[in-house]
A and B are shown apart, each in its own frame.
Chain A
Amino acid sequence: MMEQERVLTGERLEETVPVSPVKKRKRPFRREWLWCYLAVGLPFFGFVFFNAAPIVISFASMFCDANTYDFGSMQWNGFANFVEFFHDGKFLHTLGITFWLTCAQFVSLAIAIVVAALLNAERVRGSKVLKVIYFIPYICSGVAIAVMWSIIFERQGVLNQLLGTEFTWLNDSAHPQFLTWAIFVVILWPAPGYGIIMYTAALKGVDTALYEAAELDGANAFHKFWNITLPMIAPMTYFLVLAGVTSGFATFDQATILAPVSWTGTAGPEDAGLTVQYYIYYEMTEFGNMGYASVIQWAMMIITLIPCTIIMKLRKRAEENIG
């Protein structure tokens, strides 16, 4: 996820950082061309070999009976995997759980905007230190964070004490939704860190003349935030939404730690912790059913594509609006 966020930021950097012109030279430097092609070629080689080839094999395995642990076992079975897929209520269930957990990313975004706006208010003491503190959870691993929160959700843990209840939050067969909410919180907790830093930088970049003009027109703080700040940072918001949706759809680590597969073969009560990626992993490793796992993976790729395309379009429009 981090990779992709950096990628998309970089795309923007390229357009705006002032660059010095490179002199066009027509003289041939054949020996150095070789170096150039080697330098440029390595990433292409890596892409073809380690991105494209697995995708092709994954695509092919959709039409096969394929054992995860034995490539040689691949055997054409027509569209049997797809037939199974369209009769699989479990996939829809995992998709629902995944969408639910992805909502944490939107909540995180709202938190990030509010906290960033507060940090950016005039003369806030310690805003630098606070930014550093808020970023710390973001660099902690999903596994460690899940372990941390599992302590809080313990039966005798701090949450039950504060609420005066005695729930087993992570394994309550009467309330399976507790588990999903627990994973939701575990995802939400570290998430705003990144957005807070980005938004504080973006908010500093908003032209103060706009606010002064609005003040002359009698706008109050809320009007200014709603009509100036939000539109001005909209492209950034769309970028963060995009990153959030992609990472939300790929939720895996937290779910596997908080909802380990029980002896009945479910991830938490009523599979309340089974995200799509977890389902793929489960199909692959527990049943060795690679063909079916690939179908789910491809379905998920296509499902991810739809919101991403829409968000990209919206982002472009938002950029045109302010540019």
Chain B
Amino acid sequence: MNAVRKRNDAWHAKAARIAGRAALYFVLLLYTVWVLAPFLIIILVSFEPDLQFAREGFQWWPDWSIEGYTMLFDPENEFISLLGTGFINSLWQTLIPTVGGLFVSGLAAYAYAKWEFPGKSKLFALCLLLMTVPLNAGLTSYLFYNALGWTRGGAAVLPIIIPGIFGSMGTIFLIYPYVKAVPTGIVEAARIDGMGFMGIYCRVIVPLSAPVFVAQFLFGFVGGYNNYSSALLYLLGNEDLWTMQLALSQLIDGLTESGAWLNVKCAAAIFSMLPLIVLFCFSQRYFIENVSAGGVKG
């Protein structure tokens, strides 16, 4: 009798476990589909002939055609030159403030972490205070840059690349603990070997805390590449300076006729997302680890 009940209990427990597992994988599958479906859909639409979409709407199995891509890459349509220029512009307009700002923020973090100078603790506290100031003029900064003359002609790019070069209090505090963790003995040894302030920074601090610099760079790059509002505000009147996001939005805007040329739109959207997705695939470790570090701490 007892043996039977035991076997029954074991069977129940096993069934419950299997059901639980199934439910778990089912929910995860559902969410995965939700995340991936939009990508799949725009890939399908990008391969659907324009006429077919107009007649039959979206098809899960379209008459595969590369019309969208040939239209996009046809030099006569100027789409590709728009997006190509956009990519180059996004690249330099993002790299300058990201790399420059990271260098400057890292330098400040290094000065706070590894050097003693009068007034350091007060400046550090001020830094912390400024970081938490939630005030931001946002779009209305335009008036200030207009006063500087940074909104006319080619100078319109300055509000996008210059402020970032000076780093930010937030980045200083993100880098600070990693720089602080570099053994002081190594810094001392480098000093005795005759390295100066900058020498130690470039040849000791940055290489030894490389992961945090790489992660910060990647997040900064993604943020800059995806930035839309300031590009729209400052660069709209200057087509030569359009970034990828601005070029994409203007390209879509130019194809407003509802229901038409969706394949070109989709191809353009894919083209604009591809650089970051490729970058992410090669560096996902840094992204995930960096975010996880935040999770562990807090």
Taking CB as reference atom, which chain B residue is nearest A64?
A: B143
Query: Counting CB contacts under 8 A, is B154 at the interface?
Result: no
Query: Measured between alpha carbons, how far is A6 from B177 in the docked complex, in Å?
Result: 13
Q: How far is the CB of B247 from chain A (nearest CB, A)?
A: 10
A20-B181, A42-B107, A147-B269 given as contacts; is B117 within 8 A of A136 (CB)?
A: no
Interface segment out of the listed A46-54, A87-95, A172-180 = A46-54
Across the interface, do B24 and A16 meet the contact criterion of CB distance under 8 Å? no
Q: How far is the CB of B170 from chain A (nearest CB, A)?
A: 3
Query: Counting CB contacts under 8 A, is B146 at the interface?
Result: yes
Query: Measured between alpha carbons, how far is A23 from B268 in the docked complex, in Å?
Result: 56
**Neighbour of B35 across the interface among A51, A134, A148, A168, CB < 8 A:** A134
A 143-168 to B, binary, CB cutoff 8 A, 1 in contact else 0? 11101111110111110110000001
A13-B293, A140-B276, A284-B142 given as contacts; is B253 within 8 A of A40 (CB)?
A: no
**Neighbour of A54 across the interface among B118, B137, B175, B294, CB < 8 A:** B137
Query: Counting CB contacts under 8 A, is A297 at the interface?
Result: yes
CB neighbours of A121 from chain B (8 A): 24
Query: Counting CB contacts under 8 A, is A227 at the interface?
Result: no
**Neighbour of B140 across the interface among A22, A199, A290, CB < 8 A:** A290
Across the interface, do B228 and A253 meet the contact criterion of CB distance under 8 Å? yes
Across the interface, do B177 and A40 meet the contact criterion of CB distance under 8 Å? no
Across the interface, do A58 and B141 meet the contact criterion of CB distance under 8 Å? yes
Interface segment out of the listed A29-37, A78-86, A207-215, A266-274 = A29-37
Query: Counting CB contacts under 8 A, is A137 at the interface?
Result: yes
Classify chain B's interface size.
35 or more
Taking CB as reference atom, which chain A residue is nearest B110?
A: A39
CB neighbours of A16 from chain B (8 A): 297
Query: Measured between alpha carbons, how far is A42 from B196 in the docked complex, in Å?
Result: 19
Across the interface, do B107 and A297 meet the contact criterion of CB distance under 8 Å? no
Query: Counting CB contacts under 8 A, is B99 at the interface?
Result: no
Q: How far is the CB of B258 from chain A (nearest CB, A)?
A: 7
Across the interface, do A43 and B172 meet the contact criterion of CB distance under 8 Å? yes
B 255-298 to A, binary, CB cutoff 8 A, 1 in contact else 0? 01011001001101100110011001000100110011111111
Query: Counting CB contacts under 8 A, is B193 at the interface?
Result: no
Q: How far is the CB of A289 from chain B (nearest CB, A)?
A: 11
Query: Counting CB contacts under 8 A, is B238 at the interface?
Result: no
Query: Counting CB contacts under 8 A, is B4 at the interface?
Result: no
Of residues A24, A121, A141, which shows the largest number of chain B Cβ atoms within 10 Å of its Cβ? A141
Across the interface, do B294 and A161 meet the contact criterion of CB distance under 8 Å? no
Query: Counting CB contacts under 8 A, is B31 at the interface?
Result: yes
CB neighbours of A24 from chain B (8 A): 116
Query: Counting CB contacts under 8 A, is B131 at the interface?
Result: yes
Across the interface, do A155 and B197 meet the contact criterion of CB distance under 8 Å? no
Give the dominant DSSP class at B's interface: helix
8 Å CB contacts to B: which residues of A1-32? 2-7, 9-14, 16-25, 32
8 Å CB contacts to A: which residues of B46-102? 53-54, 56-58
Q: How far is the CB of A259 from chain B (nearest CB, A)?
A: 12
Q: How far is the CB of A301 from chain B (nearest CB, A)?
A: 6
Query: Measured between alpha carbons, how far is A133 from B281 in the docked complex, in Å?
Result: 10
Query: Measured between alpha carbons, how far is A74 from B142 in the docked complex, in Å?
Result: 13
CB neighbours of A6 from chain B (8 A): 170-171, 174, 216, 219, 294
Query: Measured between alpha carbons, how far is A319 from B68 in the docked complex, in Å?
Result: 53
Q: How far is the CB of A101 from chain B (nearest CB, A)?
A: 15
A20-B184, A22-B116, A42-B166 given as contacts; is B139 within 8 A of A297 (CB)?
A: yes
CB neighbours of A253 from chain B (8 A): 228-229, 245
CB neighbours of A277 from chain B (8 A): 138-139, 229
A54-B141, A142-B228 given as contacts; is B297 within 8 A of A46 (CB)?
A: no
8 Å CB contacts to B: which residues of A228-281? 235-236, 239, 250, 252-253, 256-257, 260, 277, 280-281
Taking CB as reference atom, which chain B residue is nearest A205?
A: B296
Across the interface, do A10 and B228 meet the contact criterion of CB distance under 8 Å? no
B 18-38 to A, binary, CB cutoff 8 A, 1 in contact else 0? 000000110110011011101
Q: How far is the CB of B140 from chain A (nearest CB, A)?
A: 4
Query: Counting CB contacts under 8 A, is B214 at the interface?
Result: no
Query: Counting CB contacts under 8 A, is B2 at the interface?
Result: no
Query: Counting CB contacts under 8 A, is B241 at the interface?
Result: no
Q: How far is the CB of A68 from chain B (nearest CB, A)?
A: 6
**Neighbour of A257 across the interface among B108, B163, B249, B288, CB < 8 A:** B249
Across the interface, do A284 and B115 meet the contact criterion of CB distance under 8 Å? no
A121-B24, A257-B249 given as contacts; is B295 within 8 A of A148 (CB)?
A: no
Across the interface, do A260 and B253 meet the contact criterion of CB distance under 8 Å? yes
Q: How far is the CB of B279 from chain A (nearest CB, A)?
A: 8
CB neighbours of B180 from chain A (8 A): 17, 19-20, 22
A118-B27, A143-B249 given as contacts; is B146 within 8 A of A70 (CB)?
A: yes
A158-B41, A202-B298, A301-B136 given as contacts; is B105 within 8 A of A36 (CB)?
A: no
A139-B277, A158-B58 given as contacts; is B248 within 8 A of A147 (CB)?
A: yes
CB neighbours of B223 from chain A (8 A): 2-3
What are 7 pairs between A and B in contact, CB < 8 Å?
A20-B180, A36-B111, A40-B111, A43-B108, A114-B27, A145-B38, A284-B142
Q: Which 7 A-B pairs have the closest CB atoms?
A: A46-B166, A201-B295, A7-B170, A156-B57, A9-B294, A10-B174, A141-B226
Residues of A within 8 A of B (CB): 2-7, 9-14, 16-25, 32-33, 35-37, 39-40, 42-47, 49-51, 53-55, 57-58, 61, 66, 68-71, 74, 111, 114-115, 118-119, 121, 124, 130-137, 139-145, 147-152, 154-158, 160-161, 168, 189, 194, 197-202, 204-205, 235-236, 239, 250, 252-253, 256-257, 260, 277, 280-281, 284-285, 290, 293-294, 297, 301, 304-305, 308
